[in-house]
Structure 1
Amino acid sequence: MAAITVPQAWVGPSTTRQRVMGIVFLFLAFSIWWLFGRTASGEQVTVFNLTPGASTVIVPDWQLPTLSTLYVLAMVSAVLGGVQLARGFGRWTNRVLGLVAGLFIFGFLVWAAAGKSLNLAGLINTSLSRAVPLTLGALSGVLCERAGVVNIAIEGMMLTGAMVGSLVGSVTHSLWLGLLGAILSGLLLSLIHGVLSIKYKTNQIISGTVINILATGMTSYISAKFLQHYEQLNNPGIFPQWPIPVLSRIPLLGPLLFDNNMFVYAMFLLLAVIHVGLFFTRWGLRLRSVGEHPKAADTLGINVFRTRYMAVMLGGMMAGFAGGYFTLGSVGRFDEVMTAGRGFISLAAMIFGNWTPFGSFGAGLLFGFADSLASKLAILGVRIPSEFLLMAPYVATMVVLAGVVGRGQMPAADGVAYEKE
């Protein structure tokens, strides 16, 4: 009698991902319970200060029993992990992952500030400020890569924008003219990148690397030769805080969102404009079609070369604007290599945000939070190397690229030179 083979249930990618995500949720729950809860005591209280340092709107402190809070966070994360393993959350999985990750981060803060006080509002405010250049740089990358041009020259454009902004602002005694100079310097470098990449079809990675090297050498030379010896050429000042009447008086949210300098407001405005422009206008549809299938776009009458030039130029202006933040919105002077690789971090934020404006902002906020938290932990005396915190967003980016939490969808023709037939 012939043996009957019973077919095994096929485990597809969605089922495997469901299990992996469930295990991740449970691992984070276990980490909250064992790593944080094991070292906390029942008598400890965590105090979160909800009033930013310079704010006149006083918000009462938030006091939490450390151990009980950690156990509640671990229990909620474990329940979500169990549900994910049992049946999954479907299209809500990534949102639930964000929730569990947020619970883990909050648990870490509760543990780190156990028996102490942490200015949570100040931490969020600093995170937002440090996210500004990263978000603007990521928007530069979104504009370029949505049109099919890889732009790793963001770092060089930001660095040049910072130097030119400081120099022009100091000479003209005008912050606005300095900012205009920063934007135009980014535009100039983007034209070089565009001509090399689009007209001469140079490898876009090599073209961007050349611009980065050029910008680093040029700005370092000008700084060492002139800016360090003539203080009047490197003292532009910074844009002041602009509190919005009434809104800035809202407890907690007012000082965080409505009492900032011009760059923060510009970032939110540009986020909305670029999002609407890319996904809800004919111009955005044409730009995205050039980045996805340039040959089909050309067949429909879209000028591929002109569209790519426009996108690269807009991206260069955005990167120059981001560079202006360092000298005109934060430090008030130019120092050599002061961008410190934030152009490359912006690219990571763009990838983490799946080549979308608001996704890039969320990623930039995450990177800014890690940067801000690293300095706060040193004040709290937590015995964790700050490098581990700074490393975490990059690990998360690699996880995204690996497709664990949903594979990022880069434009199909990104980095591919177009040959018109």
Structure 2
Amino acid sequence: MFIHAEVILLVIAVAFFLPKVLKLSTELSMFVAALAGAAAHSVMLRVTGSPHNPVSILPIRHIVEGAFTYFDVCLIFLTATFFMALLRESGGVAFIVRKIVSTFHKRRTICLLLLTFVLLLPGALTGSGATTVLTVGALVGAVLSAMGVDETKRAAIIFLGAAMSAAAPPINLWAMMAAAGANMPYVGFGKPLLVLSVAGALFSMFWLAGRGEGQVDLDKALANLPEVQEGQSWFRVTFPFALLLALVLAGRIWPFSMPVLGLPLLFMVASFAVVLLSPKRLHVWSVACATVHNLTTLVGIMVVVGILIQIMALSGARGLISLAVVTLPLGVLFATLFIILPLSEGLVQYAVAPLIGVPLIMLFNMRGLDPIIALSAMAVIWPLGDCLPPTAVVGRATVMELGYTGRYFQDFVKACLVPMAFIAMLGTLFLIFSTRLSFLGG
């Protein structure tokens, strides 16, 4: 049994790295690895004469089932990103940023504080840091430029804000995927995720931009921001968010009277409100097509992660990883997780949540730690790896969106190190003292 699982794991690892060497995308490399693992599992069963011999080399049923494992999650960030894209197209995002700059350009601290929350919002609603970069990255970057923040620090701020926005509630994909794998309800994560992500985002912003002096150059900032459509107002911008919040709260206040609508439908209702209230005519079909195109990579990763996890569970490779994780001493985990989690995220992205997140949660639960606080801490550390190779999805999106001209590792990643260390340290402390912080998960 152990030899079978070890061979499958080796085949999957080799089949993943070979396509990466040939410059294939991460999702294609993971798909090749899943198919190779499935084929190796079937061949080994045939060779050993197992009574459970498969009919074909590839277990098609498991591949299809795995592809739909995170179907609901894919719907959530497709519809949520569509909502944010419509809001941006209507001029709502530019309106908010221009109002912040116009009102608080003489008060640097308040301006930075509000810009931090502007960065947190898109990823919190969609679960994707890349959405934050594409939606508000350039706008916030323009304001930071008018504040005198240099190019490298601007890029670092946008990346770290995007990472913390992806970790912020209500939608944290790492926590959702790990909780689903551990048969935990995704309930009680809001407060710990909010505390960790907001603290990380604020530290990043004020560490990198708060030590400067002087006001915002209002004329320069407004010149670099898109013009706001005539007729745009706070009511038009905030009503869709208020409607979304009201529908979410209604389901919790009156759980037996309010029908279960689901987050995808709620985001579509809010999107409809944006279209109705927009001061200009929106090209909804074009926005929808652009949204799907921009999220193709992310959705593809979620699909192949489901396939890979299904094949690994079928062949025993996932159980082997779980066994290796749960037999590690807690001291070793506490001393190394802040390094292991970002590196593994940079390697296989969201696949790390079900692969090592699930056994870690079970281990922490058996050792008496609070599983909700522990998973929240890990789910905030994981996004830090989105600037690391070989994937570096959010990091690459940041430098492309801002037109960054500096060196990636020597300048950009180096500027991120101190805030990343603070966030990792804070997450580790939450993990160690999770039982004392269990009141946050209530």
- TM more than 0.5: no
TM-score by structure 2 length? 0.29
From the two aligned structures, give the one with the greater helix fraction. 2
Larger radius of gyration: 1
Normalising by structure 1, report the TM-score: 0.30
